[in-house]
Amino acid sequence: LVDDHDINLTAGGNQSGKSTCGAIEDAIDISKQVPKALEGIYPLEKIPKKIPFNVRTVGVDHTQLLNTVIPAYRQWMPREFLIKGSWEHSFSSERRLLTLKKGSKVYGTVEFMTNAMEVEKFQGPPLDKVNYDEEPRQDIYKENLLRFVTAKRLRVRFRMTPTRGMTWVKSDIVDKEGPGSNIKCFKLAT
Element (H, E) at 168: helix 168-172
**What is the distance in angstroms between the CA of the first residue and the CA of the last residue of the chain?**
16
Q: Cβ(169)–Cβ(9) under 8 Å?
A: yes
User: For residue range 125-152, what is the model confidence (pLDDT) as tens digits?
Assistant: 889 999 999 889 999 999 999 998 888 8
Measured CA to CA, the distance from residue 54 to residue 101 in angstroms comes to 12
pTM of the model: 0.89
pLDDT of residue 85: 94
Measured CA to CA, the distance from residue 53 to residue 36 in angstroms comes to 21
User: For residue range 144-175, what is the model confidence (pLDDT) as tens digits?
Assistant: 999 988 888 889 998 888 777 668 888 887 78
- Give me the amino acid identity at 13: G
Measured CA to CA, the distance from residue 113 to residue 24 in angstroms comes to 18
Of 130, 104, 135, the closest CA to residue 7 belongs to 130
pLDDT of residue 170: 80
User: For residue range 55-91, what is the model confidence (pLDDT) as tens digits?
Assistant: 999 999 999 999 999 999 999 999 999 999 999 999 9
User: For residue range 11-69, what is the model confidence (pLDDT) as tens digits?
Assistant: 777 777 788 889 999 999 999 999 999 999 988 988 999 999 999 999 999 999 999 99
